[in-house]
Amino acid sequence: MADDGFISLDGVEKVFEVRRRAGLLRRERHEVRAVDGISFRVARGEMVGYIGPNGAGKSTTIKMLTGILTPSGGRLRVAGIDPSRERTRLAHRIGVVFGQRTTLWWDLPLRDSYRLMHRMYRIPDRRYRENLDRCVELLDLGELLEVPVRQLSLGQRMRGDIAAALLHDPEVLYLDEPTIGLDVISKAKVRQFLKELNAERGTTVLLTTHDLTDIEQLCSRVMVIDHGRLMYDGSLAGLHEVGESERMLVVDLERELPPIVLQSADGGDQPALRAVKVEGPRQWLAFPAAASAAPLVARIAADYPLVDLSVREPDIEAVIARMYESAP
């Protein structure tokens, strides 16, 4: 099991059968391939972002990793355990936070939910107290312990949920949209905590999110999934190349002019840049991220009354959006 990966998936599939009404009484069966042959490895202590549009198969993957869904095909192991076969044994070693759901007892103080975790995971008393103290300190829960969960704000509840998932020292933590709906400060708190958790305890973290800032700040590696398939697996920086990303040159001219047209320097058919937007004297010009901006600027300055300019680095969100669109 040495470096086979702490989490390993080989051609994992999940096919749902959906029945659709096709007339008064007749129903048509058809298959939905939520996860369509995904393979990847995650090493112990890695922090990986798992992103994709709605319905891409992210949550389905997470559910298979926790064992609450059985794969229709392929091989899946977490810490050497087949999740769907030994769900309960695995449960002691993993922590799960579903951003849109809560494990906490709605009507009771936060502390009661933690007491429950204490018993459920059979955490030794001392460890429980240490872990609770640590979570309370780092997640700023001190004043919330005696407050019924229903009275907590979303950010407070989320921090409460994260603590609940960590009291039994899980080796791996799955976070399904942990920052959804949180304000900027709460997001920052959650991210900081996760960063420290990973650094100090070496907890493996698999994070699904729609907020790319989460990924940028936490994960060195990102996996993009769409239509149940892995579209990209690598560093965040590498995404730009794969996504044929573009940089944006924003120029302010002296007066309103028609969109700037520049032919390619080597005389080819491809224009060197294309005008994306024109607003009065300001123009947004996109060009390939790999191309150098300097010669373009020089040529524009030579031909047009240039007042000011700025270059914007490619927006990771735009890159991913383009990736989703280009998917079959």
Pick 120 or 265: Cβ nearer other proteins: 120
The closest alpha carbon to 165, from 205, 107, 208, belongs to 205
Pick 14 or 247: Cβ nearer other proteins: 14
Return the bridge partners of 235, or none. Answer: 221
The closest alpha carbon to 62, from 17, 7, 104, belongs to 7
Distance between CA 136 and CA 319 in Å, rounded?
38
The closest alpha carbon to 271, from 291, 245, 255, 250, belongs to 291
Tokens of residue 225, six digits: 């999934």
Amino acid identity of residue 274, one-letter, is R
What's the order of all strands across the beta sheet hosting 27-42? 27-42, 7-21, 73-78
Pick 63 or 191: Cβ nearer other proteins: 63
Pick 91 or 239: Cβ nearer other proteins: 91
Residue numbers 109-128 binding other proteins by CB under 8 A: 112, 115-116, 118-121
Number of residues that bind other proteins (CB under 8 A): 32
**Cα dihedral 213, 217, 222, 225 in deg (nearest 10):** -20
Altogether, the residues listed in the chain come to a count of 328
Q: Is 69 in the site for other proteins (CB under 8 A)?
A: yes
Q: What is the smallest separation between the CB atom of 107 and other proteins, expressed in angstroms?
A: 4
Distance between CA 118 and CA 129 in Å, rounded?
9
Q: Is 101 in the site for other proteins (CB under 8 A)?
A: yes
Cβ–Cβ under 8 Å, residues 165 and 139 = no
Q: What is the smallest separation between the CB atom of 202 and other proteins, expressed in angstroms?
A: 22
Q: Is 67 in the site for other proteins (CB under 8 A)?
A: yes
Q: Is 148 in the site for other proteins (CB under 8 A)?
A: yes
Residue numbers 159-198 binding other proteins by CB under 8 A: 176
Among 11, 30, 68, 142, binds other proteins (CB under 8 A): 68
Helix (H, G, I), strand (E, B) or coil at 254: coil
Q: What is the smallest separation between the CB atom of 119 and other proteins, expressed in angstroms?
A: 4
Q: Is 88 in the site for other proteins (CB under 8 A)?
A: yes
Q: Is 107 in the site for other proteins (CB under 8 A)?
A: yes
Q: What is the smallest separation between the CB atom of 95 and other proteins, expressed in angstroms?
A: 10
Distance set, CA 5 to CA 1, 77, 286 (Å): 7, 9, 40
Distance between CA 263 and CA 274 in Å, rounded?
10
Residue numbers 261-320 binding other proteins by CB under 8 A: none
Q: What is the smallest separation between the CB atom of 41 and other proteins, expressed in angstroms?
A: 22
Among 33, 41, 92, 299, binds other proteins (CB under 8 A): 92
Residues that bind other proteins in the complex, under the rule CB under 8 A: 16, 59, 63, 66-70, 87-89, 91-92, 94, 96, 98, 100-103, 105, 107-108, 112, 115-116, 118-121, 148, 176
